[in-house]
Amino acid sequence: MTKQRREVYGLLLEDASHPTANDVFRKVQDRMPQISLATVYNCLEALVTHGLVNQVNFDREPSRYCANLQEHVHFHDEASGRIHDIEFKDGADIMDFLNLPEGAEITEMELTIRGKLPSRD
Amino acid sequence: MTKQRREVYGLLLEDASHPTANDVFRKVQDRMPQISLATVYNCLEALVTHGLVNQVNFDREPSRYCANLQEHVHFHDEASGRIHDIEFKDGADIMDFLNLPEGAEITEMELTIRGKLPSRD
DNA sequence: AATCTTAATTAGAATAATTCAAAAATCACC
DNA sequence: GGTGATTTTTGAATTATTCTAATTAAGATT
């Protein structure tokens, strides 16, 4: 854990907006003006490979990063453009939904939903 | 529907391997040597926007295209590198699995699974 | 404290998928 | 068959990300 990694990680812990590498770069620059974009990419990669952070890909958009390690689904609100974390219901198992061939093993799964959230007035 | 679009579409109907734009380009070239990669991209885009073809994104890999319009899930077999289409069980509704806020509307969803399929000997 | 070793950061160039722009070709319709 | 609109082509541009080489920093060792 270097200064830079701690800074990037700290930012992700506070900021649940699923920022891109560039977003992270701009925000971290406030506190470490000399940091480079490549370092931000390196830090994010290190955090991801060490399992502290998840990399989230949506369509062909730039990757986003989030420090919410609990298993969850991403909901892209079309109105606001924001991404929300949605949890599974208790006891829900995706295997129950799918016609998976006998003996298939799931390593990892990613579910992304696009839609509209009710506007809260 | 132009010659090129028909060719690209025909290929996708026959080829369920979820080819990338480049794969499509190389294969279509056999029958239309003068076609350009940009045209393949244009054709794919046209087919996608007209709803004949789905664009599938997995992590940061190149987009893949498939003409299977039935709602399905993509299973990335880590052993073979191949992508398989998996269908939902009858009557399965993803809404039943998720703690979605009241009133949320789903426009579109994409589920991708990484894992191992049993090797068939 | 000085030095050695290793790993991380930096800056900038390189890469790869995709998109864009302009000119040429093709198509649909009169 | 001509005309206007749309596509294709070619090649250049863009953008996110990765790579490279050089520098710097961080510990460990004397």
pLDDT digits (tens, 9 = 90+) for A8-48: 999 999 999 999 999 999 999 999 999 999 999 999 999 99
CB B19 within 8 A of CB B27: yes
Per-residue pLDDT at A88 exceeds 70: yes
Nearest CB to B97 within list A57, A92, A106: A92
Closest CA to B84 of B112, B52, B54: B112
From CA B96, how far away is CA A94, in angstroms rounded?
11
pLDDT of residue A119: 77
Best of B109, B116, B119, B120 to substitute, by most chain A Cβ atoms within 10 angstroms, is B109
Q: How far is CA A46 from CA A1, A8, A43, B98, B115, in A?
A: 9, 11, 5, 30, 23
Question: Taking a C-beta distance cutoff of 8 angstroms, is the pair B53, A50 a contact?
Answer: no
pLDDT tens-digit series, residues A105-121: 999 999 999 999 987 66
Instruction: Name every chain A residue with its beta carbon within 8 A of the beta carbon of B114.
Output: 106-109
| Per-residue confidence (pLDDT) for residue A4, from 0 to 100 | 96
B92's tokens: 């399965």
| B108/A contact by beta carbon, under 8 A | yes
Nearest to B23 by CA among B34, B13, B8: B8
pLDDT at residue B120 in the model: 66
Q: Which chain C positions have some atom within 7 A of a protein CB? A: 8-13, 16-21, 26-27
- The token duo for B13 is 């109907």
**Per the structure block, which two tokens stand in for A87?**
């949890």
A121: chain B residues, CB-CB within 8 Å: none
Q: What confidence score (pLDDT) does residue B51 get? A: 93
Interface touch A111/B109, C-beta < 8 Å: yes
**B63 close to A (CB below 8 A):** yes
Q: What share of chain A is helix, strand, coil (3-state, %, to 5)?
A: 35, 25, 40
| Residue ranges of chain B with per-residue pLDDT less than 50 | none
Q: Strand D closer than 7 Å to the CB of B120?
A: no
Predicted local distance difference test score (pLDDT) of residue A118: 87
